[in-house]
Amino acid sequence: MLRSTAKTAIAVLKYTSRQASGLARIVTTSTVGDLKLSSAQHADLEASKSLIRYNGDERELIQLIKTKAEASPTVSDYQTAVAAAVRGLNALKCTNIHIHADVDAALPQSDLLQAALMTNDCFHRKTQADDKPSLASEISLTLNGKRFDSTYTRAICEGAKLTRRLVNERADIASPAGMQAEAQVIADTFDLKLTAIVGEKLLDERLGMIHAVGRAARVPPRLVMLEYDGADNIDEAPIMLVGKGVTFDTGGLNLKPTGFIETMHFDMGGSGAVLGAMHAIASLKLKANVVALLPLAENAIGKDAYKPMDFLTSYKGLTVSVGNTDAEGRLVLADALTYGEEKYKPAAIVDVATLTGACVVALGPYAAGVFSNNEAMVQDIIQAGREGNEVLWHLPILPQHVAELKCTFTDVSSTGESRYGGASTAAAFLQKFVKETTPWTHIDIAGPVDAAKADSYNNKGATGFGVASLVNFVNNFKGYST
């Protein structure tokens, strides 16, 4: 008989109906013998990668995770096993889930907790009891025989779940007013300062591009600002987080076609990520001053809609030619960037946006694109993402991208000359609205903002991407020399 050289990890899920609790035990090939599987059970497990055993009221669901020959299970392998375990126990309607695993001491244990907590989440609007998903009210981990927990990881996951809920929500609820209300809840919960500039008052403040994008919508556009003072020195320059908040993007008069418009409630994913991060930052009481700016607008069509080739005047004073009304996110971000930089004089700026389909073409749904005017900041952002299992990839803003924005009639065009390099020309546009001396990074999350199907600890729909990167960046922030 040939023996497989592939190493495996097995998740053993135990369910006791009387206690409505489940035990997941993740083991490797060296401890498979403890399961006392028969030859037939081993064969079934190899064939289907899962096995259910019945012992009276107790049920065991065993899931087999294979790795390449001679390879040890990776963090990703363990996270996938934990996610499968939680889904299995959710399906068995367990109210308490306890996960036991022996893992390599070098593996980040918080990653397993992240996988468990983020899997135990489901957005739905089902009304029938039989159809409603079941989630556990308590999840705990025992790793290498010791109870493991992390307040920091739990706070990030709560923030990311908030982001998921907001991004999954439909636009009539997560409207500009609805997003402001969500920000108000965070402000009230953690005693943050909230201010908002709404509707026609945007014009009084010279925020004409935010107003233009949202002026045709039923709910007025607005700029919402949240201020968190966590540094020992209240006068310390803050970190500024800016999140694109286009709550539904029809494309404007350059209307999106069927097959593209249906998921455009996701287009406020940047503001959703920033709100989730602010929730976590305030919950953890991080030692930093942080301000969040949310330019919120619905890019609707109607008699008041802005038009292709309109000339707009930005808060900075630059005139902008509208190359395409479906390139609206950069307009609202540009005004917010300049306004926030002038008002708060930040130590660093990070903006997050579902900005371009071009970034998805470049990186797929697997990574976010990162653009910056500060190399040290790029490395810090990428590392912050790595710590939170979010992949960020540095992309360039070349002189040629900047040159494409030249315009005959205005100071700048909102779009490039061709369909190539669209993520970089969009970033080049944003860069024009930030001072060269201010460390700034733009993160295009158009790809990883949502999952087309469940994978590892992400369910289908919004992923909560960006929250972990932002919180880790703030927590690790040391500043930059200019």
DSSP states along 161-220: HHHHHHHHS-TTTSSHHHHHHHHHHHHHHHT-EEEEEETTHHHHTT-HHHHHHHTTSSSP
- Hey, is 225 helix, strand or coil? strand
- How confident is the model at residue 53, as a pLDDT? 67
- How confident is the model at residue 63, as a pLDDT? 64
> Would you tell me how many other CB atoms lie within 10 Å of the CB of residue 417?
14
Of the residues 256, 386, 435, 460, only one is catalytic, namely 256
* 231 CB-near residues (< 8 Å, 6+ apart): 287, 288, 289
- How confident is the model at residue 64, as a pLDDT? 67
CB 56 within 8 A of CB 10: no
- How confident is the model at residue 154, as a pLDDT? 98
E strand or H helix at 277, and its extent?
helix 269-284
- How confident is the model at residue 42, as a pLDDT? 72
- How confident is the model at residue 95, as a pLDDT? 83
- How confident is the model at residue 93, as a pLDDT? 83
- How confident is the model at residue 91, as a pLDDT? 86
Among this protein's residues, is 25 annotated catalytic? no
Q: Which of 20, 2, 203, 205 is CA-nearest to residue 97?
A: 20
Among this protein's residues, is 3 annotated catalytic? no
189/421 Cα distance (integer angstroms): 42
Of the residues 7, 59, 165, 330, only one is catalytic, namely 330
Mean pLDDT per 10-residue segment, the chain (482 residues): 40 47 66 71 70 60 64 86 88 84 87 96 85 88 92 98 97 97 98 98 98 98 98 96 98 95 95 98 98 98 97 98 97 98 98 97 97 98 98 98 97 94 98 98 97 93 97 97 74
